Amino acid sequence: MADRTLARVGSVAWREFRHTALTKSFFIGAVIVPIVMIGLMTLVPALMVSQLQPLEGDLAVVDETGRFAPALHSIVEDRRSGDLPDEAKEALEELGAGRLGADVARSAQATSAPMVAVTTFGADADVDALKLEARDGRWIGVLTVPATQ
């Protein structure tokens, strides 16, 4: 009688296993999802690492006010020397990027050449011609500061 009971238990266990573990959804959940998770865990860090080189080149600034260009030159010089002003450090800390300021200063000190040079133009500059030169690669960008009304 014990053999018959064991056969019934085995039959019920096989039926339960077949109806739960041998389904498409169980296979997807038990095999496919972990494989995808492992793939994402290896792919995401590789995508997060920046392979870009620092931005280098000349920036054309058309400053109709005459006040923006000196401030921009000062920022470029501070970046080049690695000495960020206290206001910039406080703003970075407020944004939660306090370490970024130290990293920027360290990277600026590590490079001897300036990454960005600023060329300033007055209100009489031809912005469309500067944009065409930017498309041709002469400038990394054209920044226009209109006069306030």
Model confidence pLDDT, tens digit, residues 26-39: 888 888 999 999 99
- Identify which has the larger pLDDT, 101 or 12: 12
Rg (CA), the chain: 31
What predicted TM-score, i.e. pTM, was given to this entire model?
A: 0.45
Give dist(CA 116, CA 3) in Å, integer.
85
**pLDDT at position 90:** 66
pLDDT of residue 72: 75
Token pair of 122 as six digits: 């007055």
| Residue 22: strand, helix, or coil | coil
Over residues 46-104, the pLDDT tens digits come to: 777 766 566 678 888 888 877 777 777 777 777 666 666 666 666 656 555 445 445 54
How far apart CA 101 and CA 81 sit, in angstroms, is: 13
Q: Looking at per-residue confidence, does 99 or 145 come out higher?
A: 145
